[in-house]
Structure 1
């Protein structure tokens, strides 16, 4: 996979290194030459330039990228990069970093964003997930489909205990994608029974989250 990462700060360089470790082809672009001198990502193609400029993205052949990651520390820059990548270069998938949670509402398909990743939201989700059993915890917003990835941990006295997946009716447009149990990832086949303590990963629109909670926790 060919990935263009805009922003060679700590986050951008970390993303680049992880992608390289998984055998992807990475181009890392930043308008500050000093970041490459200070901490180079040697296996990536490193380019000095402003990813907000069409000429730079054209020189980088952004249209050949499978994914563009807007990972700078400036939300305005990330929005511009996302919009250009999607509208001018038809990049199939655009992932954008959200630095200020107050700006999350902007990071949607109107700005070319397929997936918005908010570090503050993810940290809050991890904290809530550690203490919240029986609550719907939003993990990530998937802007292309207008839905969220949410987590629900079944309490000890769950009415779903022993009930197979096929016997639980989820709200319309919601889909159970995985069950996390004791360090294992279980595919939710129709005959798989639920157990107390299961963490259910569900994709659902925000409007369905209340009904989802009732369906899973109300039995």
Structure 2
């Protein structure tokens, strides 16, 4: 199976690793210098294609003619939509997945624009809040990758190793991404300088081994 990922940031590189582990032939398209330098250490150079994912020439260099799935996960909704439309209608890709960065743009990410699956982080968070899910315990929200990986929510307990620590100072398990943080009624976008506090709830993408490690990190 051939997959093309547009966007070599944290999300794109993580998806690429998962697909490679499952036997996919993966190409990653990226045009920014810093992400390119970083992912050069994680992937063979033959997998990396320098260029813009909305450029047909770049897509063809990445092998879109023989691709089975295209995943557009850049930080720009406009780029992700253009990629989806080109992939679906110019190249007939059967499975097109696109990331929604701005919730206001969600209505655009539909099948008429070539999007088979729209991934909207804000929508996921809002559903959790509205359903009044218990934020004090670990819950599995969604299993992916044939059950090998999950999106989980986990409360941070007072006295745990993670409480009052900045994310950059935590030793996170491999193949784990912290997606977002919920603190009382606020949803906080995560970066390395965000300090975790007791009673916060974190949404994370991880595997089974990572769940045990996060539990040890977030529990007293």
Smaller-chain TM-score bracket: 0.5 to 0.7
1:12 matched residue in structure 2: 12
Query: 1:153-172, aligned counterparts within 5 Å?
Result: none
1:204 matched residue in structure 2: none
Query: 1:117-136, aligned counterparts within 5 Å?
Result: 117-129=119-131, 131=133
Aligned pair 1:107/2:109, yes or no? yes
Aligned 8 A contact 2:28 2:62 in 1: no
- Secondary structure (helix, strand or coil) at the match of 1:27 reads strand
Larger Rg: 1
Change (3 A) 1:46 1:113: same
1:213 matched residue in structure 2: none
Change (3 A) 1:19 1:128: farther
Size of the aligned set, in residue pairs, is 134
Q: 1:129 offset after TM fit, Å?
A: 4.6
The CA RMSD over aligned residues, in Å, is 2.1
- Secondary structure (helix, strand or coil) at the match of 1:131 reads coil
Aligned 8 A contact 1:33 1:48 in 2: no
Give the TM-score, by structure 1 length.
0.56
Match of 1:76 among 69, 75, 78: 78
Give the TM-score, by structure 2 length.
0.56
Any unmatched runs of 5+ in structure 1? 133-138, 141-219
Cα distance in 1, alignment partners of residues 66 and 132 from structure 2 = 41
Any unmatched runs of 5+ in structure 2? 135-140, 143-220
1:32 matched residue in structure 2: 32
1:67 matched residue in structure 2: 69
